Amino acid sequence: QTGSANTNPSDSADDEYITSVSIGTPAQVLPLDFDTGSSDLWVFSSETPKSSASGHVTYSPSKSSTAKKLSGSTWSIEYGDKSSSSGDVYTDIVTIGGFSVKTQAVESATKVSTQFVQDTVISGLVGLGFDVGNQVSPRPQKTWFSNAASSLAEPLFTADLRHQETGSYNFGFIDTSLAKGTIGYTPADGSEGYWGFTATGYSVGGAKLNRNSITGIADTGTTLLLLPDNIVDAYYNNVESAEYDDSQEGVVFDCSEDLPSFSFGVGGQTITISGDLLNLTPIEEGSSTCFGGLQSSADIGINIFGDVALKAALVVFDLGNERLGWAQK
């Protein structure tokens, strides 16, 4: 069996990618953010304070004949951007891309931080990280993909995120026609719950890859490519107008700049992120100053290959073989 779901950028800056998920009987369809950087499926619900839930599609377990309270279980998560949410837990049927998991832990939010309250285009997250990262207590729950894996044709899923166009999450199969290049595989380290891996080197503007390795995570739930300061500086030294903007908390530059590409080596392949993918968006509507897709990871302490990097590739999250595959798109 397999599953295939379309995913769409949330806005003109490709800030998040939204995928429709059906929960319960009859189906309640919610727009969710698939997040390989976390391991909990949580949703805005009938238990979320009305003031916080206004503008969001919500899940009502009481309206689902297949919902069951997981009594005594609670959850609480904090994310790298200091956002957070918490609540209690139900199990219900969760269908993604036509594939149904009968008894999936659906974490219902009784509290959400302001970032989520304001982000009305999504109603929660589908964690696609490793089960070890799940935050339900007293008994941690499995992710939707972990529950699905044994029934899928292959225990893997792919992410094909695109700039300002519809992409896909495919489960149980690899559609190689989505990529131009060969898939290069490298071991994935799931010990922290993330999809950790090591890139073997990098280059700016199509130069030959150096041999400075970069260890980081593949995180569909993070917008940017977050790398060490020395790499960020090496990149923006090629961008005449680049400067750090305190209010934007990142490097900005004239939108008219012709940005160099950024390449990294992984699994014997080279993934090149084109310059236009590295110009994320004007800092505000109509501004001629733009915000960079590559920013520093120094404040987080972990390198994150977020959507800016993932958009350049077809990425295979291969749980069965504990490996990540990358192919140029």
Ligand X SMILES: CC[C@H](C)[C@H](NC(=O)[C@H](C)NC(=O)[C@@H](CCSC)NC[C@@H](N)Cc1ccccc1)C(=O)O
Task: Give the active site residues.
Answer: 35, 219
CB of 80 to ligand X, least distance (A): 3
- Tokens coding 133: 């990262």
Q: Would you say 217 or 231 has its CB closer to ligand X? A: 217
- Give min distance, CB of 125 to ligand X, in A: 6
Closer to ligand X by CB, 87 or 172: give it: 87
Position with the least CB separation from ligand X: 37
CA distance 163 to 168: 12
Angle at 20 between CA 44 and CA 80, to 5 degrees: 55
**Is the Cβ of residue 183 or residue 309 nearer to ligand X in the bound state?**
309
Q: How many C-beta neighbours within 10 Å does residue 164 have?
A: 11
What CA–CA distances, in Å, run from 220 to 92, 125, 297, 315?
Answer: 24, 11, 16, 10
Strand 99-112 with 41-43, pairing? parallel
| Cα–Cα nearest to 133, from 64, 222, 41 | 41
**Nearer Cβ to ligand X (178/302):** 302
Q: Match 């206004």 to its residue by tokens.
A: 54
Which residues, 6 or more positions from 286, have their beta carbon under 8 angstroms from its beta carbon? Answer: none
Q: Report the interface residues with ligand X, using CB under 6 A.
A: 33, 35, 37-38, 78-81, 83, 125, 133, 219, 221-222, 300, 302
Q: Measured from the CB of residue 196, what is the shortest distance to ligand X in angstroms?
A: 10
Output the six-digit token pair for 68.
């069951």
* Closer residue to ligand X, CB minimum distance, 116 or 253: 116
Q: Nearest approach, Cβ of 28 to ligand X (angstroms)?
A: 21
Q: Do the bridges between strand 124-127 and strand 28-35 make them parallel or antiparallel, or are there none, so unpaired?
A: parallel
Q: Report which secondary-structure segment, H or E, holds 116.
A: helix 114-118
* Least distance to ligand X, CB of residue 136, Å: 13
